[in-house]
Amino acid sequence: MPDSVPVIFDNQTAPTAAQQAVLDIAQQAGLAIAAESDAILQLHIVDDCLVLNDASDAKSQGVKVDFLSGQSQYRRAHGGGNKEPIAKAIGLKQGNQMSVVDATPGLGRDAFVLAALGANVTMVERSPVVYALLADGLRRLAMQEPELASRFSLVHANSAEYMQTQPAGSVEAVYLDPMFPHKKKSALVKKEMRVFQALLGPDVDADALLPAAQAIALKRVVVKRPNSAPFLAQTKPSMAISSKKHRFDVYINV
């Protein structure tokens, strides 16, 4: 992980209320605010959003958390019931207020689907940069849809360590989507994942997440994997639900 990913902001300019809110989130996450930097990965405030940029790529569109994007809203509109494989894997139906820990939230896209279906989702993120991106996404979601935003909780912690502090059976399900080498051909996804991999590095401790998740999940643990990937922690699931590009390995607690 890079030693420093600064937030680039000209501190000689008085920030707007929205910009100050973003700066507050960044400072709470322990990120440095700088007027300029030669760091390859940088955070910028663009249209009142916190955006992660790769300074070495002039064509980079940046990475942000946007729960109000067209993609998110499409999944929300078309993901009712069991139409979304993740919902089927988790055992979530429309309006079910089950509790879920997302221990590897990334940009929060799968967590958004679960919350939109009614789940109360706790996202646990150890990277201060990703934590700040998620917090900013939730800030903007709360301005437009406060009820939906209220279904999210965000914790800045190492997921395995966090789960080890939680009581057995304290959450109905745990969702895991650890980083895996990406083979998608889409240029946009490829660039986005390249920036994330440069930021986070390999998930060398991903196997430790499964036993920690199984210890706190009352009903099940779901692990999202590319179709060709081995089982997490070399542990065979109770069942698997396949989609076009991924499978969801389901570990049922009895």
Task: Note the pLDDT of residue 89.
Answer: 95
Residue 126 assigned ligand-binding role:
yes
Residue 139 assigned ligand-binding role:
no
Tens of pLDDT, residues 89-101: 999 987 788 999 9
Tens of pLDDT, residues 104-120: 999 999 999 999 999 99
Residue 125 assigned ligand-binding role:
yes
Residue 194 assigned ligand-binding role:
no
Task: Note the pLDDT of residue 181.
Answer: 60
Q: Which two tokens stand for residue 45?
A: 């405030």
Residue 1 has pLDDT above 60, yes or no: no
Q: What is the mean pLDDT of residues 161-187?
A: 84
Ordered by where they begin, the domains of the chain are 70-179+202-252 (3.40.50.150)
Task: Note the pLDDT of residue 218.
Answer: 97
Q: Are 31 and 132 a contacting pair, CB within 8 Å? A: yes
Share of the chain above pLDDT 70, in %: 89
Contacts for 19 with CB less than 8 Å, ≥ 6 apart: 9, 45, 48
* Greater model confidence, 225 or 197: 225
- State the distance between the two ends of the chain, measured CA to CA, in whole angstroms: 38
Task: Note the pLDDT of residue 190.
Answer: 64
With a threshold of 0.85, does the pTM exceed it? Answer: yes
Residue 225 assigned ligand-binding role:
no
